[in-house]
A = this chain, B = another copy of it.
């Protein structure tokens, strides 16, 4: 069960039990967390897993100007909300259960493993709600949060525009002040997940726009609460322009929206004017842990199916005695399953560790809290991009294990492969997150040292214990390599071109090292446990350190040697030849 894996991660590896029953989490104990996870797993298995095939094969359509979802999806989301899951990690005064973030992330893993495209609607609603809870006025919280946390209204994030995908600074949507904190919005938004649907009576959009005053557009972006229907139930000038037809993740509508038109579109400023991006980044950080979690969960589900198939399917002969074999008896299949395990469970460990840092920021003393915040800040881009990048590999291996059967729609692994491919793209492309880590964060203050030191302390401890040397040694080497690399990448100082050019491969190295650390933590938490499950964990840890991490580290010489052709050559040299001849 995924629940027992998660319990191991939460309580044995991350020891979240230490913060329960006291202080911020006086109202939570291990039994409560376990019972919530177990009933979530039940709801996920009964209401969400069965949706996956249908909402993929029959993707929501645009009918009479609205996106229509299936009755089954609507009912599942209704039950999710009614059970109180949207509100789980909101403060109790807002109607929530104030669960630790680690437990909330565990819930995401459970529903993500069952059907991420269905769960996307409620995940986005919780994220949008958290923005209002963090930055809204008392009036805004009272007006918008109750229907969102009850799941009567869902939420979205409206950042990108047709001409401004990753480049949010180029957003042109305008907000003209009407007084009393109210604004008239006008502009088009693109790639809006859950941007329209008929699953709920209303949709509350968090919209990034520029305030226009006296005909002058503000340089900075502000954040607005813009409902599809005004609180009095009348239309608010948000028009669905079209649905994007996607490779995967089809159950979550993805929309082009027009704000303002025949009907005025009225929004409320949330937080300070001109601080929209900062507010949004807070939400996006959370969303990034969420994407990482669903990426790990998507890899895990495919791994589960591939493993199941490998035990069932008889094919070929055993190498040693020529007897009839199952797929699982072939070394090449074992290699592929172990790689999937290393990625899926390593990714899950990383996400739950990241979430437990969110809790540490709240519960630790000021020193501990600061350290946790620094570490979380560094890990956020790693969590999203590593789980997505390696997740695509894991999902591809799930197909490969199953051969032709993995390539047909009779089995879920082809769908999960399509779903997973979204994750390196949304919530900040992996390339942009790599720049965030390797250009921005690495050059600020002590750079990545907070992370490296945390890894080094545990790796050096492990080095003293015979059993862990094979894991710890390559980690110590990787640390040395990465520290050198981050110096050479920023050389000459002030010239960021090299860091930009090699951010992606370098960020993957940081991710591989970080997940190796997560595996060391898991293996140490096994203590003396000796059974198939524990032995499998130990094998996957070695797979991570010896067969996954070396692949990214192998690019160190190329990174160190310099810009190579990226800076020196004309753009045309990178073109497919047809374009230039």
Contact = CB atoms under 8 A, between A and B. Distances in A.
Interface of A: 1-2, 4-5, 160, 163-167, 170, 190-191, 244-248, 300, 303-304, 307-308, 310-311, 314-317, 319-320, 326, 328-335, 337-338, 341, 392, 396, 399-400, 403-410, 414, 417-418, 421-422, 424-426, 429-431, 434-435, 496-497, 500-501, 503-505, 532-533, 535-536, 539, 542-543, 546-547, 550-555, 557-558, 561, 563-567, 569-581
For the complex, would chain A's binding face be called helix, strand, loop or mixed by DSSP majority? helix
A304 B578 contact: yes
B247 A407 contact: yes
10 contacts: A160-B404, A166-B403, A247-B409, A248-B407, A330-B431, A334-B565, A407-B422, A536-B569, A546-B564, A551-B554
A569 B337 CA distance: 13
A536 B577 contact: yes
Contacts of A311: 571, 575, 579
A570 B338 CA distance: 13
A572 B341 CA distance: 13
A555 B551 contact: yes
B399 A574 contact: no
Most chain B CB within a 10 A radius of its CB, from A329, A330, A536, A570: A536
Contacts of A405: 165
A574 B307 contact: yes
A165 to B, nearest CB: 5
Given A331-B500, A421-B396, A551-B551, A572 B247 contact: no
Contact of A303 (B5, B316, B330, B576): B576
Q: From A542, A550, A557, A571, name the one whose CB has the most chain B CB atoms within 10 angstroms.
A: A571
> Which 3 pairs from chain A and chain B are nearest by CB?
A554-B554, A331-B501, A539-B565
A242 to B, nearest CB: 10
Contacts of A244: 404, 408, 410
Given A246-B408, A247-B417, A557-B550, A338 B535 contact: no
A404 to B, nearest CB: 5
A170 B572 CA distance: 53
B497 A319 contact: yes
Given A333-B574, A341-B576, 11 more contacts: A1-B577, A167-B316, A247-B407, A304-B579, A331-B566, A337-B574, A400-B429, A535-B573, A539-B565, A539-B569, A551-B555
A104 B354 CA distance: 55
B550 A580 contact: no
A335 B504 contact: yes
A570 B538 CA distance: 13
A390 to B, nearest CB: 13
A422 B231 CA distance: 51
B532 A332 contact: no
Contacts of A546: 557-558, 561, 564
Nearest to A3: B578
Nearest to A566: B331
A269 to B, nearest CB: 27
B547 A558 contact: yes
Contact of A166 (B316, B329, B543, B551): B316
A426 B404 contact: yes
A578 B1 contact: yes
Contacts of A550: 554-555, 557-558
B574 A334 contact: yes
A501 B332 contact: yes
Given A329-B571, A497-B320, A581-B533, A304 B558 contact: no
Contacts of A563: 331
Contact of A532 (B329, B418, B580): B580
Contacts of A575: 307, 311, 328, 337, 532, 536
A245 B410 contact: yes
A424 B407 CA distance: 11
Contacts of A500: 319, 330-332
A293 to B, nearest CB: 17
A437 to B, nearest CB: 13
Contacts of A578: 1-2, 304
A567 to B, nearest CB: 7
Given A247-B408, A501-B331, A392 B396 contact: yes
A400 B165 CA distance: 13
A554 B553 contact: yes
Contact of A572 (B191, B314, B532): B532
A342 B317 CA distance: 37
Contacts of A331: 497, 500-501, 563, 566-567
Contacts of A307: 574-576, 579
A277 B396 CA distance: 30
A106 to B, nearest CB: 15
A300 B564 CA distance: 23
A180 to B, nearest CB: 36
B533 A577 contact: yes
Contacts of A341: 574, 576
A300 B577 CA distance: 10
Contact of A247 (B163, B335, B414): B414
A417 B141 CA distance: 45
Nearest to A575: B307
A572 B311 CA distance: 9
B335 A566 contact: yes
